């Protein structure tokens, strides 16, 4: 939930420095290329400019601005509560304690704190849920200190005893233990607001103004029809319209309900965070929903705190509590500030926590239960399509009014005739009922003219009921949601979890991708392949016989203690279980081969302070207190950086020797040789330190900067991480698709060069030079203009920091690139958020990185990133297919009805028939074309720009050919059908019915055949890959079967008659002609430069529409004031 972390220090706002400025966009409410950073006012503006019939349905998958404002108010209340507790705690703590920290700790500890606090047992545990919740909610440090028999320092140990857990080994973790804990303290989930039911969607579908008007017209027509023709025949027209409306409502509600279920499944997947807990002495990965009270949870940079808990031990542990407090200040936790809140993020350091409250018993659980997850989020395509819908709607209004006026004039002037040739209206002779009934039919037909092309808006034009239907294609923007919902579900199968809807579209426009190396282009399976120890190369690297005793002891001490990983030895001689990052795991496995007993080594010394590995400094360190009162400080990190800090080394005879220039050059050459072989180079070093200089107070320790000068080199390690199989072909595929692949890594520049050559990012050694190959430190020293100039050429950046990645993203965006970025670390969050599409890694990525990203790559594989590219382009292509299909129906229908109304006084297609065409066009057509899978053909085209017109010249050509053909055929049949079809010898009434049935049948079959054309707008073979899309084939078959049933068996309601086989053959032939027309039409060349874009038209019409609406609002307000 982006809104909850709005105050997070990892987020960046939309600004000029970031390469985005809204002044650069066209002055159109329907053009917002970057919706994820758009202001609320800008989002509200396009809603106000849109012409909408059913707002609840049109905006159901966009951001609910009203709900968002309510959510902020709830957040403010909860954050105020948290801040009040914190303020009260700080006040009471300072008021009761001396100012001297050491005296406060050693001499003046209040006597009452030694008084034991014995909580009331609950079930099998020594403390109950309510007491734990109260202590956590109030941050009651004094109660925590008194738990477990009193005495200083009991605190968390006392709580762990009462919860029957161990602060080092955790809970037992068997089924019975977990069940008891869930029954007693609850599970780590919270009540989810129920999603909207099918009946809710049904109710919303009923609120379409077009359908309401049609039902009213049907009821009046039904009443007058029964009065005039009797109960047996008079109810057909009204009942037919009503039945058609019911079908449309049910189909619409079903489609929307299915989309809602898909989005709910995706939201559930986003919430399902996986983390490590310690159970039975081993680290195991569990879902956040499986965390229980008593669990011991390791915390590292970027992790989310999974539940409320108490800090067991922490080293420089900084927590970002902005999700709960709204403040971006990092709160440092220690033994005097031990309370950790669920939902917060680890911003710095590391530690372990004891879980004390889960689920609804936490502040985060209460917060999440009180607000619903908003699935709404508009995408740039949705907004643009709303603009097109508004434009078509305005055009449709003019057409509908024109048809209505023409039909009314012809009717009241006596030019409207019955099928037998008699005049319907004769001045002074037509009874009121007939006139009213005729008027209702005209109004109903006028509504029907645009009901299939645009969902109509009604306006009362007279005192009684004079209706003008505004043609608005409601299904056009909603088709985007349908396509996105389908694509998101399929992308999940391709190992990509979409967190931001707009990313699906934007990936289709990406022009470059800045990719990590480790785990994305490589397998992330590290093995130690080469080592330099004691001033010489050790071969094989795990040959412990070549290591002198002191050097071996110090090296194993550094490996075991200076790590976030762990080694678990199962009982029964099973294989070791090693956990940690791939680099940590490789070094730990190598240490075990050197004879390291992990648990024994860690028990021989005490960790004083930890400097966690930092991607800026490229190193991490640990200070140890040994039993003989010595202090050792171990460092591990990038080889050349650690080497630069070393002044001495230990040789093969355990002698500590100075690092002279020759030896330093020897080690540098060793690093270069390993890097050239695509090995990651890591150095391990240490130094001793005076115990007298070591801080004692916890607050001083937190601020202590570990000494990193005068280090003694212990080892240089080369780790091999092989490239992923097939990555070179995938990179070439991106390059052929017009997407430039750039590698940004924290590794040595020579290692980066070797991997880039292996992956195909660099084509040859000739490209392995500046500016194609650059170090992060060099890039960041350039001025802003110099970075912008050089960014285009950069292919590989080595030894980069997260800020270097951010600077490169900004420079590329200023060159009008659409940038995709991969990242896994906490410090990658600004670049991920700033990029047009941020892609985080699902396996190695931190929760902070995932929250800042738009898409999570679940298998950390670059090939999956390319699949996302394919789906992004597929989404855009499928939307264009649907636009072409729908607009051809829209335009043809409006032309047919306007021309027919003007020259013949009647419309060829009645209301029920047009409603059926509308169903084919909106729901079934969108579903058929939304399910087109991505093809390799999409990756042979350049990316589509943000400003590229939605309706291309190719689409205009195809659309005009089909529209002209369909309108011409129906109009020819309308005016000359009886003679062309040989119906002159039949009665006029029957001949007209047959003619109208063939018109209706042919028009519907034209749409079904045209659906096949829309599949391949720019390819002559429209059947290519059609057998792979079972949805399309099934929907086309259903449409044909339903059309046959409507014509042959539903005659009364649709005003059709049965057709013989010759007439069916004529109808099919007319529809079939759409295929050869499309084939030969594609031979007509079209210019690449867009001839017509929607932006100028939308600006013109939306401006006029806003002025008209504001004028009407002003009149209404003035009248209401007059009434008062």
Q: What is the pLDDT of residues 159-189, one digit of tens each?
A: 898 899 999 889 988 889 999 999 999 898 8
Region of poorest pLDDT, from 185-199, 586-600, 661-675, 691-705: 185-199
User: Does residue 33 surpass a pLDDT of 90?
Assistant: no
The residue among 1092 and 1014 whose pLDDT is bigger is 1014
Catalytic residue among 177, 256, 320, 516: 516
H-only helix segments in 362-461: 363-370, 380-412, 432-451
The whole-number pLDDT of residue 400 equals 65
User: Does residue 102 surpass a pLDDT of 70?
Assistant: no
Per-residue pLDDT averaged across 122-127, rounded?
85
Phi/psi for 151 (5° steps) reads: 95, 145
Write the DSSP assignment of 543-567 as a string of letters.
-GGGS-HHHHHHHHHHHHHS-S-EE
The whole-number pLDDT of residue 189 equals 86
Per-residue pLDDT averaged across 463-474, rounded?
38
Place of tokens 């919706």: 35
Q: Is the dihedral of CA 709, 713, 715, 719 positive or negative?
A: positive
The whole-number pLDDT of residue 643 equals 94
**Cα distance between residue 554 and residue 534, in whole Å:** 12
User: Does residue 399 surpass a pLDDT of 50?
Assistant: yes
Query: Six-digit token pair at 1106?
Result: 């806003």
**Cα distance between residue 914 and residue 898, in whole Å:** 14
Structure confidence at residue 27 as a pLDDT band (50, 70, 90): low
Query: Six-digit token pair at 1110?
Result: 């504001």
Region of poorest pLDDT, from 15-29, 192-206, 1034-1048: 15-29
Per-residue pLDDT averaged across 743-772, rounded?
86
The residue among 629 and 398 whose pLDDT is bigger is 629
Q: Is 64 tagged catalytic?
A: no
The pLDDT tens digits for 634-661 are 999 999 999 999 999 999 999 999 999 9
- Alpha carbon 346 to chain centroid, angstroms: 23
Strongest mean pLDDT among 239-248, 262-271, 1076-1085: 1076-1085
Average pLDDT over the chain, rounded to whole?
A: 77
What three-state secondary structure class fits 348? strand
The whole-number pLDDT of residue 103 equals 37
**Residue 304 DSSP symbol:** B
User: Does residue 1124 surpass a pLDDT of 50?
Assistant: no
The whole-number pLDDT of residue 99 equals 44
Structure confidence at residue 450 as a pLDDT band (50, 70, 90): very low
Judged by phi (left if over 0) then psi (alpha if -120 to 50, else beta), residue 349 lies in: left
The whole-number pLDDT of residue 689 equals 93
Strongest mean pLDDT among 561-575, 587-601, 826-840, 943-957: 587-601
The whole-number pLDDT of residue 633 equals 95
The pLDDT tens digits for 1092-1117 are 555 555 455 555 555 555 555 565 55
Structure confidence at residue 701 as a pLDDT band (50, 70, 90): confident
Among candidate residues 555, 883, 505, the one with its CA nearest the CA of residue 714: 555
User: Does residue 490 surpass a pLDDT of 50?
Assistant: yes
The pLDDT tens digits for 964-1012 are 999 999 899 888 888 888 887 777 778 888 888 999 899 999 989 999 9
The whole-number pLDDT of residue 376 equals 55
Give the bridge partners for 297, in sequence order: 353
The whole-number pLDDT of residue 639 equals 93
Answer for the pair 338, 358: CB distance below 8 angstroms, yes or no: no
Structure confidence at residue 358 as a pLDDT band (50, 70, 90): very high
User: Does residue 543 surpass a pLDDT of 80?
Assistant: yes
Pairing state of beta strands 308-320 and 679-689? Answer: unpaired
- Alpha carbon 482 to chain centroid, angstroms: 15
Region of poorest pLDDT, from 36-50, 446-460, 633-647, 890-904: 446-460
Write the DSSP assignment of 722-753 as a string of letters.
PBPTTHHHHHHHHHHTT-EEEEE-SS-HHHHH
Write the DSSP assignment of 167-220 as a string of letters.
TTT-B---HHHHHHHHHHH--S--PPPPPPPHHHHHHHHTT-HHHHHHHHHHHH
> pTM of the full predicted structure?
0.75
Strongest mean pLDDT among 475-479, 807-811, 916-920: 807-811
The residue among 1028 and 354 whose pLDDT is bigger is 354
User: Does residue 921 surpass a pLDDT of 60?
Assistant: yes
The whole-number pLDDT of residue 254 equals 79
The whole-number pLDDT of residue 268 equals 73
The whole-number pLDDT of residue 741 equals 93
Per-residue pLDDT averaged across 699-703, rounded?
79
Region of poorest pLDDT, from 23-32, 120-129, 234-243, 622-631: 23-32
Structure confidence at residue 74 as a pLDDT band (50, 70, 90): low
User: What percent of the chain shows pLDDT beyond 70?
Assistant: 71
Place of tokens 């992308």: 491
User: Does residue 127 surpass a pLDDT of 70?
Assistant: yes
Phi/psi for 688 (5° steps) reads: -90, 160
Residue 68 exposed, middle or buried by CB count within 10 Å (0-12, 13-18, 19+)? middle
**Cα distance between residue 2 and residue 1013, in whole Å:** 41
The whole-number pLDDT of residue 214 equals 63
Structure confidence at residue 113 as a pLDDT band (50, 70, 90): very low
């Amino acid at each position: 939930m982006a809104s909850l972390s709005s105050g997070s220090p990892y987020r960046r706002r939309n600004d000029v420095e970031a390469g985005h400025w809204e002044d650069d966009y066209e002055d159109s409410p329907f053009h917002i290329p970057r919706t994820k950073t758009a202001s609320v006012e800008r989002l509200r503006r396009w809603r106000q400019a849109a012409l909408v019939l059913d707002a609840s349905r049109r905006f159901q998958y966009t951001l609910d601005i009203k709900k968002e404002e309510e959510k902020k108010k709830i957040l403010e209340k909860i954050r105020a509560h948290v801040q009040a507790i914190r303020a009260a705690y700080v006040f009471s703590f300072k008021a009761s304690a001396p100012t001297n920290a050491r005296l406060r700790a050693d001499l003046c500890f209040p006597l009452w704190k030694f008084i034991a606090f014995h909580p009331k047992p609950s079930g099998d545990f020594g403390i109950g849920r309510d007491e734990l919740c109260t202590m956590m909610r109030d941050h009651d440090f004094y109660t925590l200190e008194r738990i477990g028999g009193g005495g200083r320092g009991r605190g968390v140990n006392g709580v762990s005893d009462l919860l029957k857990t161990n602060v080092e080994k955790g809970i037992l973790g068997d089924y019975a233990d977990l069940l008891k804990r869930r029954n007693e303290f609850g599970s780590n989930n919270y009540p989810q607001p129920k999603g909207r039911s099918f009946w809710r969607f049904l109710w919303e579908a009923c609120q379409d103004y077009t359908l309401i008007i049609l039902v009213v017209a049907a009821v009046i027509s039904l009443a007058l029809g029964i009065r005039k023709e009797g109960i047996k025949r008079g109810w057909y027209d009204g009942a037919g319209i009503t039945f058609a409306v019911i079908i449309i409502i049910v189909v619409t509600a079903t489609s929307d309900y299915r989309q809602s279920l898909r989005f709910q499944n995706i939201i559930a997947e986003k919430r399902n965070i996986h983390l490590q807990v310690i159970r039975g002495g081993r680290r195991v990965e569990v879902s956040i929903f499986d965390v229980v009270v008593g669990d011991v949870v390791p915390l590292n940079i970027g992790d989310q705190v999974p539940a409320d808990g108490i800090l067991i031990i922490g080293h420089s542990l900084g927590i970002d509590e902005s999700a709960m407090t709204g403040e971006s200040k990092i709160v440092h936790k220690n033994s005097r500030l031990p309370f950790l809140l669920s939902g917060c993020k680890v911003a710095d350091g590391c530690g372990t926590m004891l879980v004390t409250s889960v689920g609804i018993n936490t502040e985060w659980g209460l917060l999440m239960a009180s607000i619903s997850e908003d699935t709404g989020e508009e995408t740039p395509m949705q907004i643009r399509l709303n603009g097109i819908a508004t434009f078509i709607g305005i055009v449709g209004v003019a057409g509908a009014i024109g048809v209505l006026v023409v039909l009314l004039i012809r009717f009241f002037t006596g030019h409207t005739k019955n099928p037998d040739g008699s005049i319907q209206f004769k001045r002074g002779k037509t009874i009121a009922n007939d006139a009213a009934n005729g008027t209702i039919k005209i109004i109903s037909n006028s509504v029907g003219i645009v009901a299939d092309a645009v969902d109509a808006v009604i306006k009362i034009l007279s005192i009684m009921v004079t209706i003008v239907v505004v043609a608005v294609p409601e299904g056009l923007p909603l088709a985007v949601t349908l396509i996105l919902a389908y694509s998101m579900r399929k992308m999940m199968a391709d190992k990509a979890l979409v967190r931001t809807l707009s990313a699906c579209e934007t990936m289709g426009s990406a022009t470059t991708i800045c990719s990590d190396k480790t785990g994305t282009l490589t397998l992330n399976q590290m093995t130690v392949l080469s080592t330099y120890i004691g001033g010489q190369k050790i071969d094989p690297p795990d040959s412990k016989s070549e290591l002198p005793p002191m050097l071996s002891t110090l090296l194993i001490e550094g490996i075991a203690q200076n790590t976030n990983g762990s080694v678990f030895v199962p009982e029964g001689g099973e294989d070791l279980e090693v956990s940690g990052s791939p680099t940590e795991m490789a070094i730990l496995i190598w240490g075990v081969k050197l004879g390291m007993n992990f648990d024994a080594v860690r028990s021989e010394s005490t960790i004083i302070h930890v400097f966690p590995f930092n991607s800026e400094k490229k190193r991490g360190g640990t200070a140890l207190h040994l039993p003989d009162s010595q202090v050792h400080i171990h460092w591990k990190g990038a080889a050349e950086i650690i080497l630069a800090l070393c002044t001495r080394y230990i040789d093969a005879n355990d002698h500590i020797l100075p690092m002279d220039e020759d030896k330093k050059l020897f080690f540098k050459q060793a690093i270069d040789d390993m890097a050239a072989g695509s090995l990651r180079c890591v150095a391990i070093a240490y130094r001793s330190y005076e115990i007298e200089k070591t801080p004692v107070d916890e607050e001083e320790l937190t601020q202590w900067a570990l000494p990193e000068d005068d280090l003694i080199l212990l080892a240089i390690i080369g780790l091999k991480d092989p490239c992923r199989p097939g990555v070179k072909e995938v990179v070439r595929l991106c390059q052929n698709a017009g997407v430039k692949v750039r590698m940004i890594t924290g590794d040595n520049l020579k290692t980066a060069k070797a991997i880039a050559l292996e992956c195909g990012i660099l084509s040859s050694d000739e490209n392995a030079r500046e500016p194609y190959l650059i170090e992060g430190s060099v890039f960041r020293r350039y001025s802003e203009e110099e970075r912008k100039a050089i960014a285009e050429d950069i292919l590989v950046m080595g030894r980069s920091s997260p800020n270097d990645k951010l600077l490169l993203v900004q420079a590329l965006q200023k060159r009008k690139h659409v940038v995709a970025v991969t990242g896994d670390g906490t410090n990658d969050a600004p670049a991920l958020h700033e990029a047009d599409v941020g892609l985080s890694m699902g396996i190695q990525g931190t929760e902070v990185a995932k929250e800042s990203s738009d898409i999570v790559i679940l298998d950390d594989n670059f090939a999956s990133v390319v699949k996302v590219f394919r789906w992004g382009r597929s989404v855009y292509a499928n939307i264009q297919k649907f636009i072409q299909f729908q607009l051809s129906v829209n335009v043809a229908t409006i032309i047919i009805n306007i021309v027919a109304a003007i020259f013949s006084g009647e419309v060829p297609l009645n209301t029920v028939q047009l409603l059926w065409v509308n169903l084919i066009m909106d729901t079934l057509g969108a579903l058929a074309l939304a399910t087109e899978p991505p093809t390799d053909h999409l990756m042979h085209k350049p990316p589509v720009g943000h400003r590229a017109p939605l309706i291309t010249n190719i689409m205009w050509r195809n659309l005009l050919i089909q529209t002209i053909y369909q309108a011409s055929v129906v109009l020819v049949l309308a005016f000359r059908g009886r003679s062309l079809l040989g119906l002159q010898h039949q009665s006029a009434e029957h001949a007209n019915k047959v003619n109208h049935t063939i018109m209706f049948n042919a028009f519907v079959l034209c749409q079904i055949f045209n659906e096949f054309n829309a599949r391949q707008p720019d390819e002559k073979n429209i059947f290519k890959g059609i057998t792979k899309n079972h949805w399309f084939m099934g929907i086309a078959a259903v449409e044909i079967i339903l059309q046959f049933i409507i014509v042959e068996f539903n005659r009364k309601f649709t005003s059709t008659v049965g057709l013989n086989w010759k007439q069916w053959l004529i109808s099919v032939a007319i529809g079939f002609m759409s295929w050869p027309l499309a084939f030969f039409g594609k031979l007509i060349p079209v210019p690449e430069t867009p001839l017509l874009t929607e932006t100028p038209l939308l600006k013109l019409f939306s401006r006029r529409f806003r002025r008209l609406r504001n004028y009407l609002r002003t009149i209404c307000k003035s009248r209401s004031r007059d009434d008062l």
